[in-house]
Amino acid sequence: MSRLLSRRTAHSGGAGLELIDAVPVRHPWRWVGAVVILLILVLVVQSMTTNPKFYWGTFRTYLFDVLVIQGVGWTLILTVTSMIIAIVLAILLAFMRQSDNPLFRYVSWVWVWFFRGTPVYTQLLFWGSVGALYPKIIVGVPFGPELFSWDTATVINATVAAIVGLGLNESAYLAEIFRAGLKSVDNGQMEAAEALGMRRSKVMWRIILPQAMRVIIPPTGNETIGMLKTTSLVLAVPFTLDLTFVTNALASRTFLPIPLLMVAAFWYLGITSVLMVGQYYIERHYGKGVDNVTKAPVQATAAAAAAHAKPVDPADGTTEGGRP
């Protein structure tokens, strides 16, 4: 017993303190569960590798095919640009929704109502047919002279139609996420900033939005990963260079859909993983001061507070008087 004690005190820094060394609660079923899951995993992998109908040779051939890599590139371009458009619009729409100006509030509401209320596939079809509906874009005086004109087909080509279609649709969903984020910030923040003489737009941009980002980022990451997969709908435009279209085309050429589906799935999963890493760092950035408060400064605070502690002046009746 005494030997055990001395060993423990040595561990605790020799202060003569006996640290608690309790026996933890055992969880045998967790081990059973882990074994079962591992077993299922092994079976799945085994069945996939030994089943010749997966054509893993074809999978390997096309995984880094030039067309596939280009498809990955186009899918990334569509995802990133349409999300950028959507985020910019969503910030604007969310600010408008909170504005004192009733016109802004109404416009924002109608925008969200419309773009969220119609299918993205329909919207993409529409943007693909703008050229047929309006062959020329003309800037000029109504019923007067024509100043500039362009062929619609050159301005709104398939790429632009796909990006605009995806971006506008997504902006409506993101606007609601941003609105929820802005509402999550304590009203006292707005009051404090306004009391300092800051204009409302500045308060929103510098004080409210950065704090709202903590709430906004996780669902926006969700939407971005959703968008990555939604880009496969751009065949409605028709846009024919994205990953899903390319792998489908290759599949119908080779008559082997399964390995090419696997190729597409591999890349979607890969990009999603990269996006998740990015989201982690963005979350960390906007969590500063709130989520990731480091331990060290807190300890320093305590130490400094002790050092700072002023002896109470006995002649100072303020605190005693106020709090008897």
Q: Around Cβ 86, how many Cβ atoms within 10 Å?
A: 26
Give CA–CA dist 232/265, Å, rounded. Answer: 12
Angle at 23 between CA 17 and CA 26, to 5 degrees: 155
Shortest CB 104 distance to other proteins, Å: 14
Shortest CB 285 distance to other proteins, Å: 10
Which of 142/321 has CB closer to other proteins?
Answer: 321
Residues 6+ apart with CB under 8 A from 318: none
Print the binding letters for residues 290-309 with other proteins: x by CB under 8 A, - otherwise: x--x---xx--x--xx--x-
Give CA–CA dist 207/185, Å, rounded. Answer: 9
Taking CB under 8 A as the rule, does residue 60 contact other proteins?
no
Of positions 77, 92, 183, 194, contacts other proteins by CB under 8 A = 194
What is the phi/psi pair of residue 256, to 5°?
A: -125, 80
| Residue count (the chain) | 324
Of positions 18, 146, 151, 191, contacts other proteins by CB under 8 A = 191
Host H or E run for residue 230: helix 209-230
Decide: 133 and 48 in contact? Cβ < 8 Å: no
Q: Which 92-111 positions form the footprint of other proteins (CB under 8 A)?
A: 100
Shortest CB 236 distance to other proteins, Å: 41
Of positions 108, 211, 220, 244, contacts other proteins by CB under 8 A = 211
Shortest CB 182 distance to other proteins, Å: 14
Taking CB under 8 A as the rule, does residue 289 contact other proteins?
yes
Taking CB under 8 A as the rule, does residue 284 contact other proteins?
no
The residue with tokens 């067309």 is 67
Residues 6+ apart with CB under 8 A from 145: none
Of positions 195, 269, 277, 306, contacts other proteins by CB under 8 A = 195
Taking CB under 8 A as the rule, does residue 314 contact other proteins?
no
Taking CB under 8 A as the rule, does residue 219 contact other proteins?
no
Q: Which of 48, 61, 72 is nearest to 254 (CA)?
A: 61
Name the residues that contact other proteins, by CB under 8 A: 100, 186, 188-189, 191-200, 202, 206-207, 210-211, 286, 288-290, 293, 297-298, 301, 304-305, 308, 310, 312, 316-324
